[in-house]
Chain A
Amino acid sequence: MANVTMTAPATERLQLLRVLGPAHIWALGVGIVLVGEYMGWNFSVGKGGMIAGLAACWVAGLLYTCVAMIDSEVTSTIAAAGGQYAQAKHIVGPLMAFNVGLFLVMAYTMLEAANAITVGYLLDTVAGMMGHTGLNQKPFIILSIMFLAWLNFRGVLATLTFNLVITAIAFLAIIALFVSVQLGVSAVPMDFSAITTSPLPYGWIGIVAALHFGLWYYLGIEGTCQAAEEVRSPARSLPYGTMAGIMTLLIAATMTWYVCSGLLPWEYLGQAGTPLFDAARVTGNTGLMVLLFVGTMFSTLASANGCINDASRAWFSMGRDRYLPSWFGAVHPVYRTPYRSIVFLVPIALIFALGAPLDQVVTFSILSGLLGYTFMTFNMVMFRRKWPLDTIKRGYVHPLHPLPVIVLLTLCAAAYFAVFLGYGTQLSAMMCFYIVASLWFHFRRYQFVRRGDQFTMPWPKPAGY
């Protein structure tokens, strides 16, 4: 195995700063996702009961473990901002890359909007508990987006260090609740009798329907690879941070299901707005209540923060390659961030945060994510075929290929069916949107793309070419 050093280009270029380590990657991935432990996942219990909620937790965990493994291998080799977009560009082709880029931007911008809505809802809840009714949530929704966008504008190191701190606190809050309940702090004993009295209240179809909301436990872990161009050692940091992230989430998800299912009746849990916070309230311990409220707020802010980071990188990469106007491909000369993309996406997030209902926004985010996961399956097969293991160096090689691909594709199909059961219209509308966007790209935009500059990795020619 040999690495051949080449000379640096003479012209000065502005590049994104390579300042991040594995901990920042962990913070980016887990930070985007952990809010799903604090809210949203519990609708899976409402769809199918406690057992269906646990099945959804672990089946979705298996799906995302496949996503993390596949993503780690490809991203450790294609170290470019844009993540899966850059992967699609190198391995599949321009039209796929354009669509994947859109999936990413839509998924993260919608999730950012959903998080901002949640911040407003949480503060309204607290105001209500303090006797203030009719809180105007809009200024708080706008402030959360504006502040985090400004933080992202100012630099990636501060942004993801901030994410690391608040994500760690939110994760430790879940562990503290779990340990406290185990030590008997709760005023209410754990009760799992519903598992035997009403194991599957809506039958086996309830497990399939629950899968839709089981995705909330892990949705966004694949966002780690958006930082590929800003980590000091992509081949090491990206697989390390991503795999540590999915392990963290599997632990947090199982603990969350266990504590909430034990403390809250499943009929309530299935429609609760903030299940972990509610579980802390049931314990009657003020310290736990405060800690879990802080955890809920921090996880929400961490998710929005990571989403701004990831959506702007994907948008920036598409602008840099002229898939979008090249104006978006600018790097700030001082902060070294994709500042125009960050600013441009702020009003889009605000429109969805202020004008769309939460469940619709999250469903569009999930659907865009699912489309991205489906892409990963054949992307991985093509990657291994075109560049077998003995042709290019990989930072991580995922085991048992093609089993994870088959499992991922099967679970994606099940998840599409689950989403179709509840949100068939939105699924159809989303597909129409991407078809129209693809037609626009093919007939109008592709003429501006610099075709010769698309393939940027110093790889040998693919097998068979």
Chain B
Amino acid sequence: MDIWNILEYVAWALSAMFGALMLINLIRIDTTYDNELLTSSREGEIEVTAERHQI
């Protein structure tokens, strides 16, 4: 087994780790917070609070 075989196993392990990190965090957030809050983002809200486009 040379360095490239070892790197292949490391790549598999890291891929699984990053995938697991995202999935676990997603599940934790989805079960902790209300979906209404998570999907409360609205487009253009900053523009409405900041300025009107008038000349």
Contacts and interface: CB of A to CB of B under 8 A. Distances in A.
Interface of A: 1-9, 11-16, 18, 77, 79-82, 86, 127, 130, 132, 135-136, 139-140, 142-143, 146-147, 149-150, 153, 229, 317, 320-321, 326-327, 329-334, 339-340, 342-343, 346, 390-393, 453, 456-460
Nearest to B33: A333
A15 B42 CA distance: 7
- Chain B binding site: helix, strand, loop or mixed by DSSP? helix
Given A5-B50, A18-B46, A143 B29 contact: no
Interface of B: 2-4, 7-9, 11-12, 14-15, 18-19, 21-23, 25-26, 29, 33, 35, 37-55
Given A3-B54, A340-B26, A343-B23, A142 B43 contact: no
Contacts of A320: 39, 41-43
A1 B51 CA distance: 12
A323 to B, nearest CB: 12
Contacts of A327: 35, 39
Contacts of A229: 43, 46
Contact of B41 (A130, A135, A331, A334): A331
B42 to A, nearest CB: 6
22 contacts: A1-B54, A5-B50, A5-B51, A6-B49, A8-B49, A81-B43, A135-B4, A139-B15, A229-B43, A229-B46, A321-B43, A327-B39, A330-B39, A331-B40, A333-B33, A334-B29, A339-B26, A346-B19, A393-B55, A453-B42, A456-B48, A458-B53
B11 A140 contact: yes
Q: Which of B21, B50, B55 has the most CB of A within 10 A?
A: B55
Given A150-B22, A320-B39, A330-B35, A139 B11 contact: yes
A153 B19 CA distance: 11
Contacts of A326: 39
Contacts of A142: 11-12, 15
A136 B51 CA distance: 55
Contact of A14 (B19, B37, B46): B37
A139 B54 CA distance: 54
Given A136-B8, A330-B38, 7 more contacts: A2-B55, A3-B54, A11-B40, A14-B38, A135-B8, A456-B47, A457-B47
A361 B11 CA distance: 23
B14 to A, nearest CB: 5
Contacts of B8: 135-136, 139-140
Nearest to B12: A139
A463 to B, nearest CB: 13
Nearest to B50: A5
Nearest to A328: B39
B21 to A, nearest CB: 6
A455 to B, nearest CB: 9
A390 B21 CA distance: 50
B46 A79 contact: yes
Contacts of A13: 40-42, 45
Contact of B47 (A79, A130, A135, A333): A79
Q: Which of B2, B21, B44, B49 has the most CB of A within 10 A?
A: B44
Given A5-B50, A146-B19, A392 B39 contact: no
A392 B53 contact: yes
A143 B11 contact: yes
Contacts of B3: 132
Nearest to B11: A139
